[in-house]
A and B are shown apart, each in its own frame.
Chain A
């Protein structure tokens, strides 16, 4: 909110420079966002926290400045002359909803001449960001800016039946507000009505039907206290916020209603000749008793960590207009000013003491610790290590929004998966919570490819969200996503370039599991729609499926306009973060050398390596210590169309002695014969 230096100075003798005042206001809780010179004035833009609605005026912030500087305030003039006509002879006020309107005051002023406001008034309004309209409206706005109390002026002759009724709206009632918009009302909304129709939405905005016009001569000035949550609900529901509603919802001072009317009358009489009617309509002259609470000196010290002298506590609170009386050796009874709606209990008073005492005066200490041993839990360390493993494998971490486009996400969901929908998404294409990390990550590939980066390997760790049948709360699972496209590595001299493929992706998953010593990882053929039908696998950990991997289906790839093959995997991290960590048990180094043999064989095209190794294992030849595949050829290279050439490297080793070449040759022959017999293999 904007504050004028000159205006503030009409209440307080400020004996420091504007810059100094700005710094000191910041240090008592009023952050000055800017201080801008404007002619002979300075404009302070101050951030007022939602609890300090009482400071949304020159007088309100002025009270804080007076407390800060230890000064007294001079209140603005409130004097005016009244005629004999009584206000309550001219208009009746009836509050039908006292719960939402605990106090309603009003006064009639007759014979006003509507005109533009004088320059001094216009200047002041403009300085604090208010738009001048006409003298009567400007005065109500002026009083709002000055005292912080919202007022509304009705054209009295538009009030049908000369009766003001404060009631809940009836379903179906409408009002055109002064911004020209027709508003639908409902029975939760408080309105001001005459005998026939709504004439204002209470605390939010007046109606066109009773607004001040050039023809207005008699006005009814409303000064009311409306229930803050009610004003807020109405304002939210109508999506209509005003200077008045902003203040009402932050809580106004129910005791200041008549003061605001008096100040208004003083100003109206100053500006134009008019007749202020006698008396004020006041539905509840004593709306509430002053609030009292207590404060303990010992509590101030123990919470702030510094001994604040009793005299100092008394001095600081007195400056803030609290009435503070000693109760006993340690405590006081404190009466709270009516405008301080944020203060209820001792803790609120301690904050008042602390902020005026100065946070910078409180010595810094470190808390003692008497709890159990602490530190990072296993899952924290493990997640960290997963990140490190992925970066070590050459992957960059990405973070995507949790929101995705339902249509894209749907491509990456199985039929059983149901996404969580938002009621109020920020954008249409961000309407659901992601059920998979893959749509976002595939979009990351496309983004980079479109910017000329073709070789990409990325991972993401984040939650995915699903609706679960029969449970109200959707499920959230921490998940690892991996996607890659382009060449496997950077292109270097003397190195061939190779496209990233299925086995690179599988390898990084194996690498990750190897890192944690988890040996029960396995891959099985699968048929998830969004993968290439014959290049995909289900990933199991133990016997439990924990994810899937493969090549993105070429049709989806084309649909997403990605001109490269895309590989991707998604793994549920929850079981991995919780899985047993295994400590390595050292294996003695082999004492005898191994003998290595390479064999190349032609197999039928559909062979699986898994089957080959299973048959080799069935030989139960203890001296075969390792079987690796080191070369693989399909069609071309003189390979028939229905065949595949697999080159195996076999390590032979005996734990207790050196092997003879003869026994290696014998075993190798048994192996080849078995593969010939069982798998129709032909040596090449």
Chain B
């Protein structure tokens, strides 16, 4: 299936292999829903000078997907993942920053209730490219997490920046979380950083919320929602943002 994006917003489901191309110098946004059981590939080309806001909303029963993004000169990709599924998830994401001045912002929010393997990789192939990755995961009951976050600035990627942070919150009874942050730098004229934290729900935070009347479960749910809601920070469409937040609320109520 080939989808050509012109100016404006769209929402569609992904249930087979898909190719997406933006038109040059356009600004478009797309919500991709992942439902039922999916095994597919997704290839996206963000052509010169265009901007794509892509939100992937995963409520599938089982997801296995290979995604490749090609960013041409001066293009921008705002890529967000909301994983609120009870099924297993395998997602391989390769972002190729091939054109000078290309930029990618990746935000992911994942509520882990089944085994989840996430592999996110930025390859900075051209000069003056920028990549920023922010991953938030909440370890619910059941399911292991393996998350690779890789920023690779190749020798041709002078004056590029790659940054990443990953935060994992463990709830009581959660399984194993393994996070592998990597920076691979093959050019000296670059900026790069990474940060990673894994921890339990902060006892003082819980006490603070409880001292205002919330019981333990209400406090935990509020904090989990807050943790996952950060994925909507980069969504500019207010109606879409509200909708996603409502769905996060609903899923957290169901699963936490």
A-B interaction: no
